Amino acid sequence: MKRSALLLALPALLITACTPGSGGTATPDTTGPQISLTQSAPLEDATVTLTATATDDSGISKVEFYRNGTLLGTDSTAPYTYPVDLVNDTRTGYTAKAYDTKGNATVTAAFNVTTKYQGSWYWLAVDSAGNNVADGVSVFITEVPVSGQQVAAGVYTDTAQTRVGLSLLGPIASTTSLDAAFTVDTTQPALYLVAQDNDGAFGTYNGSATFGGLGVVIDPTTGAERDIALGMVQIDTTVDAAARAQTTLRAMLKRSLSAQRLNRSARVALPATLNVKLPDLSRFKLPQ
């Protein structure tokens, strides 16, 4: 009888012995956290915030931020963030690495910081006779809010580099328009040039985005307006790359713009001054 009772009790004893917390060996936690990486809209100082969202059953101990394999910073308190300077910092190759409280780690895929229409654009303004009024390069670096819409913001110069100011591209006049605006200089919102795309949407040329529409150049001293057609073509999407005004682009744009009729009555009225807080982009140096 005693032997039979022992045999009957043996399965229960084995189950108890194998139950975690009952003297057996628990399965180790080797699973890393769940993590994703996002960016904020640009701030007034032309920075964006990278935010890592990390979760794990055991909790998160820290998140490390890297750029192309180089450690940039560590954050041990949620939300896990790192600031990126849109003017001076490289925009590609960011990753975040999250550690749980057991020492397991997970790394995100590479993340590239982007802003609207970023990069270098060649621009050309011509009058009704097809004569060059001005041309140059604009580099779009960040974004600013205009009437609830995000608009690309950057710095422009003419080819002679006698004029340098801020440039905006996007829905400035209305939420459905596509407009370009260049300020007189980098410190005030008075406009030197303003134009509106003909169909409210970018075109393409050899795979590059283009802008084409009517507008005016405004004399900063007298306020006199001169009707122009404005063309823009994106040279590259890399903010820190050297931009070059290419002869072929100039010829292409001039042919396209000379075919347009400069009809003042057809041009939508655009403001002479921007009602927008302009970003401080004095840190950015235009390519020579």
How many separate domains does the chain show?
A: 2
At 49, the amino acid letter reads: T
In this prediction, residue 270 carries a pLDDT of 54
Residue 283 lies in a domain: no
Instruction: State which of 2-11, 31-40, 169-178, 218-227 shows the largest mean pLDDT.
Output: 31-40
Q: Which residue has the higher pLDDT, 148 or 39?
A: 39
Range of the domain at 177: 119-266
One domain for residues 142 and 97: no
Torsion angles phi and psi, residue 97, rounded to 5:
-125, 115
Instruction: State which of 51-55, 182-186, 245-249 shows the largest mean pLDDT.
Output: 51-55
pLDDT higher than 80, residue 126: yes
Q: Give the mean model confidence (pLDDT) for residues 151-178.
A: 88
Q: Whole-angstrom Cα distance, residue 286 to residue 288?
A: 6
Nearest to 235 by CA among 91, 122, 114, 87: 122
Q: Give the mean model confidence (pLDDT) for residues 116-128.
A: 91
In this prediction, residue 261 carries a pLDDT of 39
In this prediction, residue 252 carries a pLDDT of 45
Residue 59 lies in a domain: yes
Residue 48 lies in a domain: yes
Single out the residue in 58, 87, 107 at which a domain terminates. 107
One domain for residues 101 and 191: no
According to DSSP, the residues that pair with 84 across neighbouring strands are: 48
In this prediction, residue 259 carries a pLDDT of 41
- Give me the sheet containing 34-39, strands edge to edge: 34-39, 47-55, 80-85
pLDDT band at 211 (very low <50, low <70, confident <90, very high): very high
pLDDT higher than 70, residue 278: no
In this prediction, residue 23 carries a pLDDT of 54
Burial label for 248, CB within 10 Å (0-12, 13-18, 19+), is exposed
pLDDT higher than 90, residue 266: no
Q: Which residue has the higher pLDDT, 137 or 1?
A: 137
146, two tokens: 């205009």
One domain for residues 176 and 152: yes
In this prediction, residue 59 carries a pLDDT of 97
One domain for residues 150 and 262: yes
In this prediction, residue 260 carries a pLDDT of 41
CATH of the domain at 160: 2.40.128
In this prediction, residue 96 carries a pLDDT of 99
Determine how β-strand 105-107 pairs with β-strand 94-100: antiparallel
In this prediction, residue 20 carries a pLDDT of 52
In this prediction, residue 32 carries a pLDDT of 96
One domain for residues 102 and 124: no
Q: Whole-angstrom Cα distance, residue 9 to residue 220?
A: 98
In this prediction, residue 285 carries a pLDDT of 58
In this prediction, residue 105 carries a pLDDT of 98
Q: Which residue has the higher pLDDT, 22 or 185?
A: 185
CATH of the domain at 87: 2.60.40.10
What lies within 8 Å, CB to CB, of 9 at 6+ separation is none
Q: Whole-angstrom Cα distance, residue 288 to residue 282?
A: 16
Q: Whole-angstrom Cα distance, residue 43 to residue 133?
A: 34
Q: Whole-angstrom Cα distance, residue 168 to residue 236?
A: 17
Share the mean pLDDT of the chain: 80
Q: Which of 6-20, 73-87, 153-167 has the lowest mean pLDDT?
A: 6-20
Q: Give the mean model confidence (pLDDT) for residues 5-10.
A: 47
One domain for residues 73 and 208: no
One domain for residues 77 and 188: no
pLDDT band at 240 (very low <50, low <70, confident <90, very high): low
